[in-house]
Every structure is written in C-alpha cells, then in structure tokens.
C-alpha cells in the first residue's frame, strides 16, 4: 500500500533531501570517473552506481537486500538461505557499496542471488534501478539505510524492512539532529529487527515502528566458501605445522602478530596473515623481512617451506580457506582505532577466537561470545601465550560453535516474518 501523507516537517525534509539528490546526480558521473581512474571502482561495473544494471532481472518474485560493506553483506547469506527454503520461488538481489564486498561476494553468494552496487541516492538513478529490478520486498541491514531509496520504493508500494539493525548512542545523537528526515525514512518500514535492546530503543525514538530485538544475524551466516581441492592440497603441503591466522588485519594487529611470532620461537609455528587491505601487502612483507622473518606471498603462488614462518595471504575471497587451515584466529581491528571485525566467520569454521581490546563496532557480538567463554580478549604482550594454549582454545571453539547453532532459530523466525510481507503478485 502507498504510504499515508506524512507531517509537514517530514515532507519538507524529504523535499530538501530530493534537492540534494539532484545535485548528486549532476556531479556523480565525473566523480565516479575520477575514482575509476584511481582504481577505486571496477571498470566493468562502476555504472551500476548510476542505476545502470549489468545483469538481467530474473523472472518471478525478487527480494532486494542491501548492506554497505563486506561483513554486513556476508551476514545476510543465512537469511537468504532461510527465505529460499521457505519460498523456493524467490530470487535475490544483494547490493553493497564497496569494491571489496563485490569481489568477495562473487565467491560466496547463495544460489539464485545476484550482486550489484547500490545506486547513489538520487532520484534519477533510483528510478532507473527500480524500473529494471522491480523488487517485491526490500530489506535494509544494520545502519545503512538510504532515505531516497526508501521513499522511492515506498512510492511504488514495495514493502520494506530493516534487519540486523544496530545504532550506537553516538550515531543516534547525530541522526536526531535530522529527526524529521529519519522519521520520514523509518516510517515506511513494516518490520524493524534490531541486534539488541539498546538499538531497538534508539530506533523507536527516531520514529521506527514495529520494532523487535532478536539478536545478530552474523552468528547464523553460512560458512565461507572454499575450494575443496585447494584445501586438501594445502593441508598436505603444510602437514606438521602449527597454524594460526591473523585475519582482516591493520598495522596494530600486524605488530602484535609479529611480536607473538618472535615469542613463539619454534619453526613449527606458521602465521597466515590476511590483511584487510591487500594493497598494503608489500609494506607488510618488508616489515616482517626486516624483523628476520621473510614472508611467502600467496599472490605470487608461493607456499611456505619448513623454514618459512609467515604466509602473507594477499588475495581476495579466501578467508574460508585460511580459517579452515588454522586452529586459532586473531580477528583484526582490535589493536588499532578500528573497532574490530566480524568474529563469527572463524567461529563458524571451528577456529578459536582471539581479539584485541577495541571491539566497538561489534560490541554486542563480542559481549555475547565473552559471556559464553567463547572468545578471549588479549593484550599484545599476551598474544603468543594465548595462541599456544591448546586446551583453552579447543574449549572456546566448541562454545562458539554452540552459539552459532542457537542463532539458527532466530533466523528461521525472522524469515517467516519477512516472508509474510510479500503479498503482491510476482513481477513478470
């Protein structure tokens, strides 16, 4: 059903946002071409951000899901699978905004799912996007909602929901300054499901209706994909090594990992280091070499020999491989002012979870893991001892896997509620 007439303050906020969108539409092509020249856009796909589809729309009912980046988009996979089990007729479109998300998602998309970049939030681009894709349901995720897209979908009578919602107190304070705009954007959402009670209360205060707090989607995400033949080959090649992984790392994480490897003065130990930004690979390799610890490079086809203690995983889309090879995982982002990264990917694959002190972006996830004794916060000087604590790590990994199993019931119930929103006849 079309949305009811909103209050004057919200109509004025919408009008002002529409004017801003028109300015964006005028500037966008030149800005995107500049980003393309700097290698920040994919040459064959940058026009998707102008609403120009690069894939045909599948026939039948289509669910459009959006998440801003890699971790958020990967978290939607469990929900997609749950929806497709209930409604085999559904097809799925996942949009995101970052180049890395597109590259990794290409290897981890569920069946019947297409990825495109989200168009910029301008009326011209959104009209082009919606004319082509004609979604039957729109699902927004976490904090990334775009008012222009919500207004455009609502004007076409498309039901919308916000899932895995998370909003910090600081973000709430910023958004409250634009309260009429956010009330207008949240009003059309027929279902809002938050990760925890605090986010649910803040979203309700901003104007969201039909709000519940059912937990995070991330624990129930399916395991990252892997090439089974490559996994078997590497397990054979690395037989006898004690392997741990530092995943999605930043400079602070890498310094802690280097110190830990120096303390683990045993050639049996092998560190697989997978930086968040593989463009930094050469710099990282030089740092380890300067410390007397030469690193083999995945991008060069190198496999570490018996005397090599560091393998630099400077490749995209292979975290499922690295976590399966390792018994222990240091999840990056905790030793820099980053806020941590997703701990559930290694948990789903049986690796014990270690992390640094800064987990602000995943505070609810790490609190849940800590309460269950399923993860361990370490200081840089304690990392080597934590990596080598086999008994504690085995127990942590088992507890984390139990949490993953419990999360499946939440996703199942949420899929039922979302499926009920699709009432319109299927698109041709």
Which residues are tagged catalytic?
72
Say if CB 19 and CB 388 are below 8 A apart. no
Structure tokens at 313: 């995983």
List the one residue out of 272, 261, 268 whose CA is nearest residue 242.
268
Token pair 């690193």 is at which residue? 295
What is the spatial distance between Cα 368 and Cα 188, in angstroms, rounded to a whole number?
31
List the one residue out of 295, 292, 313 whose CA is nearest residue 304.
295
SS3 at position 94: strand
Structure tokens at 351: 């690796």
What is the spatial distance between Cα 83 and Cα 310, in angstroms, rounded to a whole number?
41
List the one residue out of 346, 176, 335 whose CA is nearest residue 250.
335
In degrees, rounded to 5, the angle at the alpha carbon of residue 327 between the alpha carbons of residues 239 and 105 is: 100
What is the spatial distance between Cα 76 and Cα 320, in angstroms, rounded to a whole number?
17
């Amino acid at each position: 059903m079309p949305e009811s007439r909103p209050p004057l303050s919200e109509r004025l906020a919408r009008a002002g946002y529409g004017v801003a969108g028109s300015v964006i539409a005028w500037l966008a092509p030149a800005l995107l071409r500049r980003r393309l020249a700097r290698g920040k856009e994919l040459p064959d796909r940058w026009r998707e951000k102008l609403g120009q589809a690069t894939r045909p729309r599948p026939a039948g009912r289509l669910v459009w899901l959006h998440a801003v980046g890699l971790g958020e988009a990967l978290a939607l996979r469990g929900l997609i699978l749950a929806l497709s089990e209930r409604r085999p007729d559904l097809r799925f479109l996942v949009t995101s905004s970052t180049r890395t998300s597109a590259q990794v998602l290409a290897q981890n998309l569920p069946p019947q799912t297409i990825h495109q970049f989200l168009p910029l939030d301008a009326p011209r681009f959104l009209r082009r996007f919606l004319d082509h894709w004609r979604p039957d349901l729109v699902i927004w995720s976490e904090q990334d909602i775009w008012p222009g897209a919500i207004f455009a979908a609502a004007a076409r009578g498309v039901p919308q929901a916000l899932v895995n919602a998370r909003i910090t107190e600081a973000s709430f304070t910023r958004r409250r300054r634009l309260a009429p705009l956010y009330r207008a954007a949240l009003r059309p959402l027929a279902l809002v499901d938050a990760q925890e009670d605090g986010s649910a209360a803040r979203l309700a205060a901003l104007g969201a209706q039909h709000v519940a707090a059912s937990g995070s989607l991330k624990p129930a995400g399916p395991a990252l994909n892997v090439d089974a033949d490559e996994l078997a080959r590497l397990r054979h090649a690395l037989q006898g090594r004690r392997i741990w992984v530092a995943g999605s790392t930043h400079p602070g994480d890498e310094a802690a990992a280097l110190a830990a490897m120096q303390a683990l003065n045993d050639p049996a130990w092998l560190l697989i280091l997978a930086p968040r930004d593989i463009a930094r690979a050469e710099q990282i390799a030089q740092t380890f070499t300067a410390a007397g610890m030469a690193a083999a490079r995945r991008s060069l086809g190198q496999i570490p020999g018996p005397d090599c203690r560091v393998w630099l995983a400077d490749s995209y889309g292979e975290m499922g491989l690295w976590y399966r090879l390792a018994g222990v995982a240091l999840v990056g982002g905790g030793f820099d002012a980053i806020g941590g990264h997703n701990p559930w990917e290694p948990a789903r694959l049986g690796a014990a979870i270690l992390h640094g002190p800064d987990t602000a972006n995943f505070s609810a996830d790490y609190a849940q893991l800590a309460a269950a004794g399923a993860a361990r916060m370490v200081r840089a000087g304690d990392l080597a001892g934590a990596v080598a604590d086999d008994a504690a790590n085995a127990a942590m990994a088992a507890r984390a896997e139990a949490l993953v199993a419990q999360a499946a019931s939440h996703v199942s119930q949420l899929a039922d509620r979302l499926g009920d929103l699709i009432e319109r006849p299927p698109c041709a």
